[in-house]
Amino acid sequence: MSKTALVTGATGLLGRQVVRAFERNKWNVKGTGYSRADGISVLKVDLVKAEDVTAALDNVKPQVVVHCAANRFPDKCDNDPEGTRALNVEATKRLASLCAAHGILLIYISTDYVFPGKPGDAPYEADATPSPTNLYGQTKLDGEKVVIEEYERAGKSGLGVVLRVPVLYGDAEVPSESAVNILLDTVWKAQEQDAKIKMDHWAWRYPTNVSYQTEDVGRVCHDISVKYRGSNDPSKLAHILQFSSEDKLTKYEMCKLFGEIMGLSIAAIEPNTEGNDPNASVQRPYDCHLSTKALKNLGIDVSTQDFTGWWRWNVRAFRK
């Protein structure tokens, strides 16, 4: 049986590792990108253009598409609502419609931000009622809905799968690719004379690794593909899945950990326990911890990288 996968957003933090996870398991893999596409392993595709998407599917002929591409930074989403909706919702609907028509399994990467994250609500099961607190979460939820709707309309229910994940970290080309990795820059800036930095110490995060090896999001995407493509009736399998680490940290605690690992002071970083500014346009959830029960029920391994251990290895610091 042919094993070919297409990964959108293949030049991004997650997309690169999803490509590697499939390659590691002997799949033929192509990616899509735009500004950083090389035209060979990563095809230049504007996902908002139907003709580009159609050409990519016709060229690659994948059995599986993993849709990683998105506008995923809440502040940037608020600054460009039209562009965000065009990519996160409209392009997703178009891709889902085309994939469904060809019987292609589509894994749509979504977010824990589809949930309100109110104190006491977490962990959220996959069937819990979403209620996003910001535009980013809303557009990702709308993306989830159009994926499931397009596959149901095509009579291919079960081949359109949603995978929700929390904040991600890993081998970044630049720290700004990840809301976790960029905290390393914060710790270094805290070493500057007269530095004063406020860091969130209110919202709980569950940073999850994207590396392509054994305990990561990339591996889970591959394992979902094998499970659903091997099913005689994928419509009977869960349509919404969730993957998350159990590492529970605020951003301030991450900075503190990075400081300890690198032997740097974080005295200039002040913990901010005030929560959301009620006047801010982007309201962030307090705790959106995702339950991984749906994945466990499928027999898919939900183990994750140890956050502290990975970062000790990554910065080559092996202090106790």
Residues 282, 68, 116: CA angle, nearest 5 degrees: 30
Q: Same domain, yes or no, for 182 and 117? A: no
Residue 74: enclosing H or E segment and its boundaries?
Answer: helix 74-79
pLDDT at 213 over 80: no
Residue of 62, 59, 78, 81 whose CA lies nearest to 22: 62
CATH number for the domain including 34?
3.40.50.720
Instruction: Report how far residue 289's alpha carbon sits from residue 143's, in angstroms, rounded to the nearest whole number.
Output: 20
Q: Which amino acid, one-letter code, is at 12?
A: G
Instruction: Provide the pLDDT confidence category of residue 211 given band limits of 50, 70 and 90.
Output: confident
pLDDT at 36 over 90: no
Structure confidence at residue 320 (pLDDT): 47
Q: At what angle do helices 135-153 and 91-101 cross, to 10 degrees?
A: 20
pTM above 0.75, yes or no: yes
Structure tokens at 251: 């951003």
**Full residue range of the structural domain in which residue 60 is found:** 4-169+208-245+290-297
What is the arithmetic mean of pLDDT over 169-174? 92
User: Where would I find the H helices in the chain?
Assistant: 13-24, 50-60, 74-79, 81-85, 91-101, 135-153, 182-189, 217-229, 251-262, 293-297, 307-314
What is the arithmetic mean of pLDDT over 58-84? 95
Q: List, by residue number, the catalytic residues.
A: 136
Do 290 and 112 touch, CB atoms closer than 8 A?
Answer: yes
What is the arithmetic mean of pLDDT over 258-270? 96
Instruction: Report how far residue 156's alpha carbon sits from residue 284's, in angstroms, rounded to the nearest whole number.
Output: 35
pLDDT at 215 over 70: no
Would residue 105 count as lying in a domain?
yes
Instruction: Provide the pLDDT confidence category of residue 38 given band limits of 50, 70 and 90.
Output: confident
Would residue 320 count as lying in a domain?
no
Would residue 281 count as lying in a domain?
yes
Instruction: Report how far residue 319's alpha carbon sits from residue 306's, in angstroms, rounded to the nearest whole number.
Output: 15
For the chain, report the end-to-end CA distance as a whole number of angstroms: 48
Q: Same domain, yes or no, for 216 and 283? A: no
Structure confidence at residue 153 (pLDDT): 97
Q: Same domain, yes or no, for 144 and 28? A: yes
